[in-house]
Chain A
Amino acid sequence: MSAGHHWRRRLHVSTVIFFGLVMAAPFYWMIINSFKSSREVVAYPPTWWPTEWHPENVWAALAFLEPTAIVNSVIFTAIITIVQLVLVVMTGFALAKMQFLGRGALLGLFILTMFVPGQVATIPTFILIRNLNWIDTFMGLCVPIIAQTSFGVFIFRQFYISMPNEILDAAKIDGANWGQVFTKIVLPLSGPPIAAYVAVTVLTAWNMYAWPLISTTEKEMRVLPLALAGLGQSYSQTPPNIAMMAVLLSTLPIIIFFILCQRYFINGLGGSLKE
């Protein structure tokens, strides 16, 4: 009996490890190939471990990605995350705890638009940005993405609705206004959902492709995914080892970020369960 149990336990653990390795296999392939020489990476049959390591591929990949694309991606991600966070926290709080005319209608509007695919609004948004002369500017790049607040508003409203009213009422009776209640009482209690929201938004913004593709034309305005996409084209002259290194370098910040904040990611995504 005990022996059978042990055997089953071992089989279970081995299966967990096996499928974990399968899920991670593309990352393994990316890493080993990004260190191969240009000759080895296209050699047949492919090698499963580099015969020699070429860390200098990093410089070639960085030259390909261009510092401007990296800087643009950092600015793009930072602006979107910070501004959108401020907007959704305040709106989510107001919809959960403040009473004002039109609150129900406003909430309904945010929920309705939550499942509308962005593509439906892309064409008119492009025309709008073009008429504002915002093509190839950070305004044009960021503002329409920041405006996609429905999901965040919903998440924060759900969080604040479960916050006890008594805390707020006590402060209000003591004469605090809404601004003081919000900054002194509400915000200090909002750490976990804010961390989760930041984690998910950083990830989304860093990886965004379609809108930057549409709203920018100049090379100086490119973000990382646009630079990377060129590597996928059949006319790409970049050897696969440099391409893999470029993919690795562009993903590395997020991988590190993920491993450090895994808890927040899981909370943030598990948070959609609260729907």
Chain B
Amino acid sequence: MSKTDTADEAGMSAMARPKPRRRSSRTASPFWAALFVGPNVILFTVFMVIPLVWGLALSLYDWNLIYAPRFVGFDNYLALMNDARAVNSVVKTVYLLVLGVVPTVFLSFLLAVLINTSFPGYSVFRTMYLLPIVISLVASAVLWKFMYDPRVGPIAQLLSFFGVSGPNWLQDTTWAMPALSLVIVWLRLPLGIILYLAALQQVNPQLLEAAEIDGAGPWAKLRHIIWPNVMPVTLLILVLTLRGIIFDSFDIAFVMTKGGPLNSTDILAVYIYDLAFAQLRLGYASALSTVLFVIVIILALIFNPPRRRPTNGDTV
């Protein structure tokens, strides 16, 4: 191991560059480098990188696990455009994202501002806000199915108390998707609240005092001081929620509605599962997965364009 000064962090300029610090040599021999990263790199390549590339390739084939794969070029993608269920599933996925992301971001912001306080017994109530983080998607799907029960469920009961006769939530083509998104929002609020609480600690109290002296009311402070100051976290929560909903919606939709009624909750993940593992149309399902992949990339670019982040390495 040489002791000469090397260009420390040379390859890292695009990534984090924390405080300037004295440069020193930490050149590793191939043996130690391989020992530290080798096992992970092998596993990651075999079970992550290769499947990702393979998935793209598979979308150009027709294969059902029984006969030999047959190369069909872009036929799968052309077929997707004429597949009403595929088009519907893309629309439903986007619809669920909107119904899930927007309330998650705003409610977690408002709730974080609300509970950014302290009083005797406060920690008990804070735990209540964070509790949904522990329950699994499947367990909450089973639980909420019971909550939505049109006869003995508490939601129907509360509504009838106010003289409203609610729909049969999960069996109604209009209400099934909002009902699913409510479960998802409930599950994802704690993460947003935790991140916003951390961000609120960073808002300069002098700014708030100055605003107060200038006669700003609570709403003005919220709108013009706090909200702009936590913007980086809002973007982060937006991206994490989008990612989370795309990753997790399968469990909720598959257990609660199986894509029904009448395909009204038939999101991409459910249709892909059906194609790949029920109908065994692996090439076609891979093509649809690729569509999902492209949607994720587009969303990632919209909300998180590649850029240098001055705050990198520090808590925002």
The total of Cβ contacts below 8 Å across the A-B interface reads 314
Contacts of B276 in A (CB 8 A): 122-123, 126
Q: A20-B129, A232-B138 are in contact. Are A87 and B147 (CB under 8 A)?
A: no
In the assembly, what is the distance between CA of A207 and CA of B254, in Å?
15
Of B55, B131, B240, the residue contacting A121 (CB under 8 A) is: B55
The verdict on A128 contacting chain B, using a C-beta distance below 8 Å, is yes
Given known contacts A94-B37, A147-B44, is B28 in contact with A251 (CB within 8 Å)? no
Given A23-B128, A251-B136, A273:B199 Cβ within 8 A: yes
How far is it, in angstroms, between the C-alpha of A29 and the C-alpha of B156 when the chains are bound?
13
Scoring B22, B128, B189, B315 by chain A CB atoms within 10 A of each residue's CB, the highest score goes to B128
Tell whether B178 is near chain A: CB-to-CB under 8 Å: no
List which B252-306 residues lie within 8 A (CB) of chain A: 254-256, 269, 272-273, 276-277, 282, 285-286, 289-290, 292-293, 296, 300
| Interface of A, helix, strand, loop or mixed by DSSP | helix
B43 and A146 contacting across the interface, CB-CB below 8 Å:
yes
- Verify if B70 is at the interface (C-beta below 8 Å from A): no
Q: What residues of B have a CB within 8 angstroms of the CB of A182 in the complex?
A: 36
In the bound complex, CA of A111 to CA of B46 (Å):
17
Given contacts A29-B147, A179-B32, A229-B255, contact A254 B134 (CB under 8 A): yes
Question: Nearest residue in B to A118 (C-beta to C-beta)?
Answer: B247
Contact A232 B145 (CB under 8 A): yes
Closest to A236 in B: B142
Q: Is B27 engaged at the interface, CB distance under 8 Å to the other chain?
A: yes
B115–A124 contact, CB under 8 A?
A: no
Residues of A near B11 (CB, < 8 A) are: 103-104, 107
Which residues in window 105-150 of B have CB below 8 A to A?
Answer: 111, 114-115, 117, 119, 122, 125-147
B48 cross-chain contacts in A, Cβ below 8 A:
113, 121, 147-148, 150
Instruction: Report if A58 contacts B (CB, 8 A).
Output: no
**When chains A and B are docked, how far (Å) is the Cα of A128 from the Cα of B132?**
35
Tell me the chain A residues, 110-134 only, with Cβ under 8 Å from chain B: 110-111, 113, 115-128, 130
For A147, list chain B residues within 8 Å (CB). Answer: 43-44, 46-48
Chain B residues whose CB sits within 8 angstroms of the CB of A19 once the complex forms = 111, 114, 129
Question: What is the bound-complex CA distance between A127 and B276, given in angstroms?
Answer: 11
Bound form: Cα–Cα A25–B135 in Å? 13
Q: Which residues of B contact A27 (CB under 8 A)?
A: 131, 135
B141 CB → nearest A CB, Å: 5
CA distance A148 to B273 in the complex (A): 20
Q: How far is the CA of A165 from the CA of B19 in the complex (A)?
A: 12
Choose, from B84-92, B190-198, B203-211, the stretch at the interface: B190-198
Residues of A within 8 A of B50 (CB): 124, 128
Question: Inside 8 A of B119's CB, which chain A residues have their CB?
Answer: 13, 16
Whether B24 is near chain A, meaning CB under 8 Å from some CB there, is: yes
Q: Which residues of B contact A144 (CB under 8 A)?
A: 47
Asked if A120 meets B292 with Cβ closer than 8 Å, knowing A16-B115, A103-B11, A115-B243, the reply is: yes
Query: Is B169 interfacial (CB 8 A cutoff)?
Result: no
B195 lies within 8 A of A172 (CB): no
Q: How far is the CA of A178 from the CA of B27 in the complex (A)?
A: 10
B30 at the interface (CB under 8 A from A): yes
CB 8 Å contact bits of A231-273 with B (1 = contact, 0 = none): 1110000001001100100110011011100100110011011
Within 8 A of A (CB), among B1-44: 1, 6, 8, 11-12, 15-16, 18, 21-22, 24-28, 30, 32-33, 35-37, 39-41, 43-44
**A259 and B127 contacting across the interface, CB-CB below 8 Å:** yes
Chain B residues contacting A46 (CB-CB under 8 Å) are 152-154, 157
| B-to-A contact residues, CB < 8 Å | 1, 6, 8, 11-12, 15-16, 18, 21-22, 24-28, 30, 32-33, 35-37, 39-41, 43-44, 46-52, 54-55, 58, 65, 111, 114-115, 117, 119, 122, 125-147, 151-154, 157, 186, 189, 191, 194-195, 197-199, 233, 236, 239-240, 243, 246-247, 250-251, 254-256, 269, 272-273, 276-277, 282, 285-286, 289-290, 292-293, 296, 300, 313-316
Q: Other CB < 8 Å A-B pairs besides A12-B117, A119-B246, 6 of them?
A: A45-B152, A119-B292, A125-B51, A177-B32, A251-B135, A272-B195
Closest 4 CB pairs of A and B: A104-B11, A207-B136, A147-B47, A100-B33
A-B contact pairs, 27 of them (CB 8 A): A13-B117, A15-B114, A16-B117, A19-B129, A23-B129, A24-B131, A26-B143, A29-B143, A42-B152, A46-B157, A87-B43, A100-B28, A101-B33, A103-B11, A104-B11, A109-B49, A120-B289, A121-B52, A123-B276, A125-B47, A128-B46, A148-B48, A209-B255, A232-B256, A254-B136, A270-B197, A272-B240
Binding site for B on A (CB under 8 A): 12-13, 15-17, 19-21, 23-27, 29-30, 33, 41-46, 48, 87-88, 90-91, 93-95, 97-101, 103-104, 106-107, 109-111, 113, 115-128, 130, 143-144, 146-150, 153, 158, 161-162, 164-166, 168-169, 172, 177-179, 182, 203, 206-207, 209-210, 214, 224-225, 228-229, 231-233, 240, 243-244, 247, 250-251, 254-255, 257-259, 262, 265-266, 269-270, 272-275
